[in-house]
Amino acid sequence: MSIVEQFKNRTPKSRRLFGRAVGALPGGLTHDLRHQHPYPLYVSHGEGPRKWDADGNEYIDYHGGHGALLLGHGRPEIVAAVRRQAARGTHLGGSHEQELRWAELVTDLIPSAEKVRFTASGTEAAMLALRLARAHTGGSKFIRFRGHFHGWYDQFVAGYVSRFEGAAPAGVPPEVASAALIADPGDEDAVLRFMDAEAGIAAIILEPTGAHFGAGPLDPSFLSFLRDVVTDSNIVLIFDEVVTGFRVSPGGAQAHYGVTPDLTTLGKVLGGGLGGGAVAGRADILSHLDFEAAAKAGREKIGHPGTHNGNPLSAAAGIAALEIVAGTDACERANSSGEALRRMLNQVLTDEKVPWSVYGEFSGFNLFTNPGNRQVLPLEFDPARIDPSELTGIDPELLGLVRLAMLINGVDVTPRFSGWISAVHGDRDLRQTAEAFQRTIGMLKKESVIEA
């Protein structure tokens, strides 16, 4: 039976739910990453590193709440904190002590965070960071890097999944898209050229461990280069640590690499599995949000309302999560499980003589499917030597089948065959994932998707 038929046989409830969903949701979906042939998986609940679909099938989960669940599903301390807060009020329409404790944890952990402002999502954090940088510098352009993701705000979508040359994607006015000066990740000359040629650059923004949490790797020396070049300029350096914050290390990538940006955007782990984002950074830049400071400086304050900024439920979950991040080896555990899993999956590829590789850093992984038919030794593969377009040159049909086969074998990876490992994935989970991957490769060979 084909991979698609096997998936359909296991997931009749998902098929029925998707049939209903297309009547109410555009394309039947609420997030682009859930798009898959023949239909998305409907998940009913999760616990620790595992989750179950609507038909009761069990999966080892590497989707990890899109990276939010460093501590897995249903972490008891977080569940208890959310329950307690829900009973006291889900929105208090006023300032509350939890937002303060949440902010103090951020300023304690993140090196650049002198002050912090909460938003409702990582996308909103990027919007606010750019607004702050523009208000602070008076510039309107900004440098960003091809393939780096900063959410779906108009300003950040050119140069991400499409329009790599910077043209305006559907629904974005060309004059908005043209504010983004797009450089290749790691291209120091391009940054210097832009700084030379363009007046009024407000910011440089990047994912400090490379596009999509290292799917497109970045030499960390580039971070120091950027830090150095902006220090004598009027440009604000923004690290997008929505994924890497509280994950790579308790202090994020900036603590790990010892390079401190001016502003940091945060999300995901910040909210302990509930919605939330934040901009943290230099007090003088964040003072553009401060009524008194703006009045004193005789300048217009940046307006920043937002119904769910610092929402008490997110704050309760976030405090519980960040206290665990600060007080335990959660980040280290996730990182070492990441390394172990990548090695185990590459051993499978080696044993099966498949010239692909699973690469990544920290608690992430990505699959290189070798579109150029290179000679690849999976365990020795160095993604930094491959052109980024080849590295991430994904054949969606092939990856779609790989993902379905992994689901059939009880493992949920993203449709790009990437994933986030949590601090609660244990040896048994990793071993079972490697076994599932081996069976997956067997199925792909049987279906002649890859050479036997």
Ligand X SMILES: Cc1ncc(COP(=O)(O)O)c(C=O)c1O
Cα(151)–Cα(205) distance, integer angstroms? 12
By the rule CB under 6 A, 122 interacts with ligand X: yes
Q: What is the DSSP secondary-structure string of 99-142?
A: HHHHHHHHHHH-TT-SEEEEESSHHHHHHHHHHHHHHHH---EE
By the rule CB under 6 A, 337 interacts with ligand X: no
CB of 138 to ligand X, least distance (A): 25
* DSSP symbol at 32: G
CB of 239 to ligand X, least distance (A): 10
Given 123, 137, 314, 357, the residue binding ligand X (CB under 6 A): 123
Question: Residue 442: enclosing H or E segment and its boundaries?
Answer: helix 427-446
Q: Which residue is nearest to ligand X (CB)?
A: 122
Cα(1)–Cα(120) distance, integer angstroms? 45
Neighbours of 84 (CB within 10 A): 11
Contact 390, 38 (CB under 8 A): no
The two three-digit tokens of residue 284, written as one number: 């003088």
Q: By C-beta, is 252 or 355 nearer to ligand X?
A: 252
By the rule CB under 6 A, 277 interacts with ligand X: yes
By the rule CB under 6 A, 388 interacts with ligand X: no
CB of 355 to ligand X, least distance (A): 29
Given 11, 121, 155, 409, the residue binding ligand X (CB under 6 A): 121
Cα(46)–Cα(33) distance, integer angstroms? 19
Given 82, 243, 253, 320, the residue binding ligand X (CB under 6 A): 243
By the rule CB under 6 A, 267 interacts with ligand X: yes
Q: Which among 90-98, 149-157, 185-193, 304-312 is the span making contact with ligand X, rule CB under 6 A?
A: 149-157
CB of 150 to ligand X, least distance (A): 5
CB of 416 to ligand X, least distance (A): 12
Q: By C-beta, is 216 or 267 nearer to ligand X?
A: 267
By the rule CB under 6 A, 205 interacts with ligand X: no
Three-state SS for 200?
Answer: coil
By the rule CB under 6 A, 361 interacts with ligand X: no
Q: By C-beta, is 207 or 262 nearer to ligand X?
A: 207
Q: Which among 20-28, 146-154, 291-299, 403-411 is the span making contact with ligand X, rule CB under 6 A?
A: 146-154
Q: Would residue 172 be called left, alpha or beta, if left means φ above 0 and alpha means ψ between -120 and 50 degrees?
A: beta
Given 51, 96, 134, 150, the residue binding ligand X (CB under 6 A): 150
| One-letter amino acid for residue 354 of the chain | V
Cα(243)–Cα(237) distance, integer angstroms? 17
Spatial CA neighbour of 144 closest among 164, 124, 128, 121: 164
Q: Site residues (CB under 6 A) for ligand X?
A: 66, 121-123, 126, 149-151, 207, 240, 242-243, 267, 277
